[in-house]
Structures are given as structure tokens and as C-alpha cells.
Amino acid sequence: MKSPIFESSGTALVTPLRDGTIDWAALETLIEQQAAGGTAALIVCGTTGEGATLTAREHEDLYRFAAEKSAGRMKIVAGIGSNDTAGALEMAKRAENAGADGLLMVTPYYNKTTQAGLIKHFTYVADRSALPVILYNVPSRTGVGVTPETYAILAGHDNIAGVKEASGNIGEFARTAALCGDKVTFYSGNDSDTVAMMALGARGVISVASNLVPDVVSKLCALCLSGDYAAASALNRQYMDLFAGLFTEVNPIPVKTAMARMGLCSDEMRLPLVPMGKAHKKALEEVLERHGLIA
């Protein structure tokens, strides 16, 4: 079995912005909060981090800053997803130079490709990178999904170490896990699916909610890893309204809105993302109040 890049809770970290640029002071505070909350890994420049609208230089600066400020306390996984295979490899090299521990590579979007194309896309980068790769499947955003059979082929690659599965299809994940065995480490890509997927063999989650409650998500994963699924299920039920509330609009709009209300960073985002609608914002604030996250 390949060594996992991390186990338990990984946070899909937001990129705090102010006046159009990265708010480095806020980011340092967030990194400290994550370390204190028991987070095992920071995923930088992923979907939640608005990686698609960050420049190549911002990507590299963010990888390096997270690695330096984490100082070995958490693994750093660099989002390098692209619909351009050569561009993804360039980002992989930048991540390597910046001190990252691994790569998160989403399926190509818009041009999408076939299952054969997915195999070539991921293999091309994995062959040429010194860092291990986590595949990322989120067909609701990219328009293409990875089949269990394709996963089984990719799992045999020495440098493909993990899978972030965010299709929401638990039955298909169960089939994928059966085909791949222990050749890769699986992570839930949706907070609401964590307990179910860990019961089927996943070893953690790449979480949006842990931007707000890192201690809760870390505890949830620890309960699952210890086999206490009764307690994990109870904790999951307690926070299911928060998990759902963070996806009432396109991620990361809700989580940044929540973090701004909690005083963690501004709710500034780059276009085409826009501020949260009033009705959804009010409902989200009610959830935050129920959990004592805002007064």
C-alpha cells in the first residue's frame, strides 16, 4: 500500500482577499486556527481557494506561504487542477519548488475529455512530478466523472496516491473502493458524505466546513478512524445543517460569507463569484447562530 499523504481532516482552505489581492495576515491567522483545530492537511488553491482565478505567481506564493507558516504541523496539498495538461504540470513544478507535500488534480473541465483522455491527463502529470497526486472527481462542476474502471487503472500508478471523491454517489464509490482495494487512499469530497464514505474505507475528508469548525471535522474523522461510527453519526447529524448551508450557493460563496460574519476574513471574492443572496445569507446566519459561531 502507498503511504497516504495525510489521514483524517484536510481543509480546502479559502484564499482571503482584500482590495483585489491576497490578505496574507488573514491567511496566517487561518493557518494557525487550522493547526489548533487538529487539521491534518491544508489544501491550497483548490475549488474553495478560488484557484481558477488566481495567477500562476499567486498559486506559487500561496503554496510557499502555507508551507512556511505550517512549518511541518500540517501537510500542504497544492491544487493544480486545469483543463490544460501542460499547464497542470507547470503548476506541479511550482508546487514542488514551493515546498508542498502533494498535489490535488481535478478532472479537466469544459473540454472534459473521455475516460481514455482522463487516464492520459493524470498519468502525464504523475509520470513527471516528484510529488504524489490526489485525483479529484467533482462532475457537478466539471461535467465529466471518473468511472470505477478508470480509477482501477489509475490506482496502479506508483505516484497516484489518493482520490478526493465528490460525486455524491455512494454506491459508485463503494464499487470503486472494491476495485481499487488499498492501492490509493480515498477522501470524501463532501462534508455530508464523510461518515458514509469512511465506513466504506475512506481515510478522511477534504472539507469546506472545517474552515469554520476544524475541531469538529477533525473529531468526526477521528471517531470514524477509531471505528466509533455511532458517535460519528451522532456528531454528523448535529452538524448536517451547517454542512448543507455551506452549499446553498456555489462554493466558496457561502463559506466566505460565514467566515466574514465570524470575523475570520472578508467575504471578498473574484468575479464571476458574487456576494451571497439575502435569503440564503439570512438562513446561513441562523445556522451559524444555532452552533454558537456568531452571536
List the catalytic residue out of 69, 75, 136, 151.
136
Q: Is the peptide bond before 214 cis (omega within 30 degrees of 0)?
A: no
Provide the β-strand partners of residue 10.
41, 206
CA 160 – CA 135 distance, rounded (Å): 7
**Active-site residue flag, 229:** no
Q: How far apart are CA 227 and CA 270, in angstroms?
A: 41
CA–CA distance from 50 to each of 5, 12, 98, 119, 273 (Å)? Answer: 22, 10, 19, 25, 9
- 188 DSSP β-pair partners: 165, 205
- β-pair partners for 22: 17
CA proximity to 164, closest of 216, 118, 120, 104: 104
CA distance 187 to 134: 9
The residue to which cell 481558477 is assigned: 52
Active site residue 219: no
According to DSSP H, which parts of the chain are helical? 24-36, 56-70, 85-98, 115-128, 139-142, 148-154, 170-180, 194-199, 214-225, 229-245, 253-261, 278-290
Catalytic residue chosen out of the listed positions 69, 75, 164, 219: 164
Assess contact for 151 and 167: CB atoms under 8 A: no
Q: Which residues are catalytically annotated?
A: 136, 164
